[in-house]
């Protein structure tokens, strides 16, 4: 190279503060120079910063004529740039670019780069290619005058130390690049020198461990346009395409800070973004080589959340606003399990706080993720079979989840074993509590509105609901005691209208407490159909307190309260207290009250409902105490004995029933007194002390004959007694087995009175005779004893104005047969000739007619037994026992019925008695009179 050119080159480099060391040079007179092994140094660095294996320079021929060095173009091969030791991170000189190829040309103030290819060693072998033009005027405007140094030399000397410093800062962040490449396309700009279109691409990237977000990329491409020079940060747009981006959830401290204590596995999860296409709008500071994003728009093909609760989101679109950094505002739309969901978030990265809004549909898999995230096992209480509609807001503070609140509506939700057709309302999850202050739910025909609260630590809960509720539909929330109580209730048409307060602790039934107000138009309780039921009841395990119960069936009703306690071990009745007033029929009373009360009222049957007041208790082992007061005007029966018009007051103690005030209708009269029932089952004993006043005798005989016929299993006989003038007064005390009417033993007194007493059917054909005669009877007095199957009458006195009858005998209740002897003592006269004739035979005071009555009560038979001038001294025995002895102990002296004597029946020979001596003066015998018709 001519010396003048060498000196000119050295002077120009010196003006740019560059020192050159040249190896071999070749000069062509046409203006071409080839320099080999060219080394360039800057004064502030002790070692060369550039080495060029060979450089070809095309000189300006006009400058050459004036003996000046001015290059028109340059092409360098095997170019290497070094980071000085003072600027490198290691403290030693490090290669920045090696084996680079560079081709430049200049004209006027423009630098054209026709070729630049290199690898930046400090950036993990980042491949660089560049082309385009640079307007150097702006870039050199503030540089000190350097004479006529080449533009490329000027730019190199001015910006190389700054470039090394910035690239050194980037070195730690680019160490994870794989097969990375940076392409620059320069367009000259009078205001920026050039606008560079940068494209960074690669097969992967691993962020360093010290990075705030230790993420990794697979196959990426980033494109932006930036000015080479700007006094202020300038707007820029960054386009980003990623095959995938993965980062551990632990890289997001806002979500995972302090999460290890709640869910240790949460920080080990990975998030993967697949198919990301994003645009970042912001500003770039070319002096600091820094990009600050203002907003971001992104689309994501899929987002995978790996771990124990895997989740995949698809078709995600995102917009983020960084203008208020460190606050970030973002909105997103995505699909999870083909379910759309919209998100909006405000994040403060400085204090690790955030507010996240979610609206749309919540996929079931998100419930599992939220459960793990909040350390609240929501899936333990809720299983979503279809995505619910949600509008929720989640809050975070200092890296902690603090609250979740909003509205939701879901269908086909399984909550603790109960499937809801629909459930929703306003919910809040905060401070360890889940609350739904405005909730609604539907299960089949059941529907309710109210509130729910749940302590997530203790699992204490409370429902407050109003609507139509069938308690059995939520039986899965309780232990068997709930079903055992409510299975007695059946609602055939609609669930009851109810208000419910349910509180307790999930998993521990001992804490369960239930208040229920129910109003039911139609219900069936223990098999008793009711038209209307209203109740307020408090329920806890083995305890039921019905503070108010009101039921109605037609015109019948009942009102009162009860409490029931069950034995915790056996689940059977321990004690039930109650107080009721009822006009229900006894069948419904028993069904509603339970088996203990059913047993107490079983002996009673009422033709129409009874007004009943009952209070007391029943308890285990047959213990009970009840006070009863009842009244009815209709017919009823006690142990099948017919009565009517009952009014009573009774007390039941254990197995003892005491009716100490009884008034009832019997045989058109009034029976009153006391009844005492003791024992159980076949060993029961019934005692009573009763009085009947003003009863009709014809009704009394009909009732008795029909009652005992039914007990014998026979058809009831017709009541043939027609004399309605005879009244009955009866006192009776007896005791026996209520299930066996032939077991009673007791005594009583009876009085019959009234006109026509002698015509009662009891005397059969004798009644006709007595009425045919002048005998008149108007009163019957007797005492009797009850000896199991017999009613024994030791003396019966029948008197009238002109006659008297004395009788004795018994009535066999098991066979329905009479066996009586009667003495007729007539006196007085009759003007009727036929009666006078007969009366003449009967009127002597010293004479007596003795008659025997046998056979059934409805068809008795009679016969004359004795006709003697001195009946009181018959057979020499003057005792009353001998006079009234039964037939088996006395001779039988029978006289034929006058009506039979008029017939063609022949007289028979005397018939000796079955036992005893024959009569001393047997009279003439006559045939036995047949039963009266």
Strands, E assignment, 307-399: 311-321, 327-336, 339-348, 353-361, 382-384, 389-397
Give pLDDT tens digits for 262-296. 555 555 667 888 888 988 888 888 777 677 878 88
For residues 647-675, average pLDDT: 89
Give the C-alpha separation, 293 to 614, whole Å.
Answer: 84
At 313, list the tokens.
Answer: 């989101």
Model's pTM, two decimal places?
A: 0.58
Could you tell me if 378 and 408 are in contact, meaning their C-beta atoms sit under 8 angstroms apart?
no
In this prediction, residue 150 has a pLDDT band, given cuts at 50, 70 and 90, of low
Could you tell me if 706 and 696 are in contact, meaning their C-beta atoms sit under 8 angstroms apart?
no
- Give the model's pLDDT for residue 559: 93
**Read out DSSP for 256-302?**
HTTTTTT-GGGGG-EEEEEEEEEEEEEEEETTTTEEEEEEEEEEEEE
Q: What is the dihedral of CA 139, 141, 147, 148, to 10 degrees?
A: 40
SS3 838: helix
Lowest mean pLDDT among 294-303, 428-437, 746-755, 906-915: 906-915
In this prediction, residue 853 has a pLDDT band, given cuts at 50, 70 and 90, of confident
pLDDT exceeds 60 at position 651: yes
SS3 11: helix
Give pLDDT tens digits for 41-84. 888 888 888 898 998 888 877 777 777 777 788 899 998 888 88
pLDDT exceeds 80 at position 223: yes
In this prediction, residue 830 has a pLDDT band, given cuts at 50, 70 and 90, of very low
Residue with tokens 């895997």: 310
Cβ within 8 Å of residue 215, ≥6 positions away: 207, 245, 246, 247, 251
- Give the model's pLDDT for residue 785: 95
Give pLDDT tens digits for 168-199. 666 667 778 888 898 999 999 888 888 989 99
In this prediction, residue 355 has a pLDDT band, given cuts at 50, 70 and 90, of very high
For residues 783-802, average pLDDT: 88
- Give the model's pLDDT for residue 673: 92
In degrees and rounded to multiples of 5, residue 775 shows phi and psi of: -75, 130
Could you tell me if 126 and 182 are in contact, meaning their C-beta atoms sit under 8 angstroms apart?
yes
In this prediction, residue 752 has a pLDDT band, given cuts at 50, 70 and 90, of confident
Residue with tokens 């407050």: 464
Angle between helices 765-772 and 833-842 (to 10 degrees): 110
In degrees and rounded to multiples of 5, residue 722 shows phi and psi of: -115, -5
Helices then strands, each counted (H, E), the chain: 14, 51
pLDDT exceeds 50 at position 702: yes
pLDDT exceeds 60 at position 884: no
Could you tell me if 808 and 818 are in contact, meaning their C-beta atoms sit under 8 angstroms apart?
no
Task: Fill in the DSSP letter of residue 31.
Answer: T
- Give the model's pLDDT for residue 625: 92
Q: State the pairing for strand pair 94-107/727-736.
A: unpaired
Residue with tokens 């036992």: 915
For residues 217-246, average pLDDT: 87
Q: State the pairing for strand pair 32-41/216-227.
A: unpaired
pLDDT exceeds 50 at position 418: yes
In this prediction, residue 252 has a pLDDT band, given cuts at 50, 70 and 90, of low
Q: Which residues pair with 787 in a beta bridge?
A: 745, 790
Peptide bond into 892 cis (omega under 30): no
Could you tell me if 61 and 88 are in contact, meaning their C-beta atoms sit under 8 angstroms apart?
no
Q: Which residues pair with 41 in a beta bridge?
A: 19
Instruction: Give Dmax (Cα) for the chain.
Output: 202
For residues 484-502, average pLDDT: 81
């Amino acid at each position: 190279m001519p010396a003048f050119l060498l000196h000119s080159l050295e002077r120009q480099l010196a003006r740019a503060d560059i020192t050159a060391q040249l190896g071999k040079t070749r000069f062509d007179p046409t203006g071409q120079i080839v320099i080999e092994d060219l080394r360039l140094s800057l004064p502030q660095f002790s070692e060369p910063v550039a080495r060029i294996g060979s450089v070809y320079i095309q000189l300006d021929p006009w400058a050459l004529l004036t003996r000046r060095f001015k290059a028109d173009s340059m092409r360098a091969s095997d170019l290497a740039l070094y980071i000085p030791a003072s600027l490198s991170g290691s403290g030693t000189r490090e290669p920045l670019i090696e084996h680079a190829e560079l081709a430049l040309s200049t004209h006027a103030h423009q630098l054209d780069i026709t070729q630049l290819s290199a690898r930046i060693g400090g950036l993990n072998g980042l491949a660089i290619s560049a082309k385009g033009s640079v307007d150097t005027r702006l870039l050199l405007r503030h540089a000190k005058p350097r004479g006529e140094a080449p533009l490329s030399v000027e730019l190199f000397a001015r910006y190389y130390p700054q470039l090394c410093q910035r690239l050194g800062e980037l070195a730690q962040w680019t160490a994870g690049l794989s097969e990375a490449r940076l392409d620059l396309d320069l367009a000259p700009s009078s205001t920026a020198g050039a606008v560079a279109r940068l494209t960074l691409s690669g097969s992967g990237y691993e962020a360093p461990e010290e990075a705030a977000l230790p993420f990794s990329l697979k196959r990426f491409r980033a494109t932006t346009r930036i000015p080479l020079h700007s006094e202020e940060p300038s707007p820029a747009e960054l386009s980003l395409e990623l095959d995938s981006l993965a980062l551990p959830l632990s890289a997001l401290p806002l979500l995972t800070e302090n999460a290890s204590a709640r869910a240790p596995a949460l920080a080990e999860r990975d998030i993967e973004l697949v198919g990301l296409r994003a645009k970042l709008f912001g500003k770039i500071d070319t002096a600091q080589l820094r990009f600050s994003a203002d907003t971001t728009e992104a689309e994501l093909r899929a987002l995978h959340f790996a771990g124990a609760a895997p989740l995949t989101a698809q078709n995600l679109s995102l917009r983020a606003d960084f203008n208020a950094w460190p606050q970030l505002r973002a909105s997103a739309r995505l699909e999870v399990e083909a379910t759309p969901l919209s998100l909006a978030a405000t994040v403060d990265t400085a204090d690790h706080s955030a507010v996240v809004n979610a609206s749309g549909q919540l996929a079931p898999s998100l419930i599992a993720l939220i459960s793990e995230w909040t350390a609240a096992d929501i899936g333990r209480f809720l299983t979503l079979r279809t995505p619910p509609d949600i509008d929720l807001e989640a809050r975070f503070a200092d890296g902690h989840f603090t609250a979740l609140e909003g509205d939701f509506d879901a269908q086909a939700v399984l909550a603790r074993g109960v499937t809801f057709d629909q459930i929703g309302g306003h919910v809040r999850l905060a401070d360890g509590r889940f609350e739904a202050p405005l909730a609604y739910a539907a299960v089949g025909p059941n529907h309710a509105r109210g509130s729910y609260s749940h302590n997530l630590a203790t699992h204490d809960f409370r429902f407050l609901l109003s609507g139509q509720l069938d308690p059995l539909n939520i039986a899965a929330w309780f232990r068997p005691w709930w079903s055992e109580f409510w299975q007695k209730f059946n609602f055939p048409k609609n669930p009851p209208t109810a208000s419910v307060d349910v509180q307790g602790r999930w998993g521990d039934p001992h804490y369960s407490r239930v208040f229920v107000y129910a109003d039911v138009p139609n219900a069936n309780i223990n098999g008793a159909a009711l038209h209307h039921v209203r109740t307020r009841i408090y329920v806890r395990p083995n305890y039921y307190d019905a503070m108010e119960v009101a039921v109605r069936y037609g015109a019948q009703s009942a009102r009162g309260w009860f409490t029931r306690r069950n034995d915790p071990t056996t689940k059977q009745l321990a004690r039930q207290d109650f107080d009721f007033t009822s006009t229900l029929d006894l069948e419904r009373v028993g069904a509603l009250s339970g088996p203990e009360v059913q047993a107490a009222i079983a002996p009673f049957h009422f033709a129409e409902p009874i007004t009943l007041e009952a209070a007391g208790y029943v308890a285990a082992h047959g213990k009970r105490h009840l006070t009863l007061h009842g009244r009815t005007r209709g017919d009823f029966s006690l142990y099948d004995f017919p009565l009517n018009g009952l009014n009573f007051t009774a007390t039941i103690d254990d197995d003892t029933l005491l009716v100490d005030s009884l008034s009832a209708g019997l045989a058109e009269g009034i029976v009153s007194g006391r009844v005492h029932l003791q024992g159980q089952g076949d060993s029961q004993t019934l005692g009573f002390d009763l009085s009947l006043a003003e009863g009709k005798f014809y009704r009394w005989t009909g009732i008795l004959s029909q009652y005992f016929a039914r007990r014998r299993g026979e058809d009831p006989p017709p009541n043939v007694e027609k004399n309605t003038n005879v009244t009955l007064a009866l006192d009776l005390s007896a005791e026996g087995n209520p299930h066996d009417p032939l077991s009673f033993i007791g005594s009583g007194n009876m009085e019959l009175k009234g006109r026509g007493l002698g015509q009662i059917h009891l005397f059969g054909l004798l009644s006709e005779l007595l009425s045919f005669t002048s005998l008149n009877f108007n009163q019957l007095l007797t005492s009797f004893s009850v000896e199991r199957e017999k009613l024994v009458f030791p003396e019966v006195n029948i008197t009238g104005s002109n006659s008297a009858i004395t009788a004795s005998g018994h009535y066999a209740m098991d066979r329905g047969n009479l066996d009586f002897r009667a003495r007729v003592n007539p006196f007085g006269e009759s003007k009727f000739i036929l009666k006078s004739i007969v009366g003449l035979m009967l009127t002597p005071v010293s004479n007596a007619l003795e008659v025997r009555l046998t056979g059934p009560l409805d068809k008795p038979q009679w016969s004359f037994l004795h006709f003697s001038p001195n009946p009181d001294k018959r057979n020499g025995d003057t005792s009353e026992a001998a006079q009234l002895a039964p037939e088996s102990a006395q001779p039988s002296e029978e006289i034929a019925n006058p009506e039979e004597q008029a017939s063609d029946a022949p007289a028979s020979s005397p018939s000796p008695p079955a036992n005893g001596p024959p009569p001393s003066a047997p009279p003439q015998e006559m045939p036995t009179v047949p039963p009266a018709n």
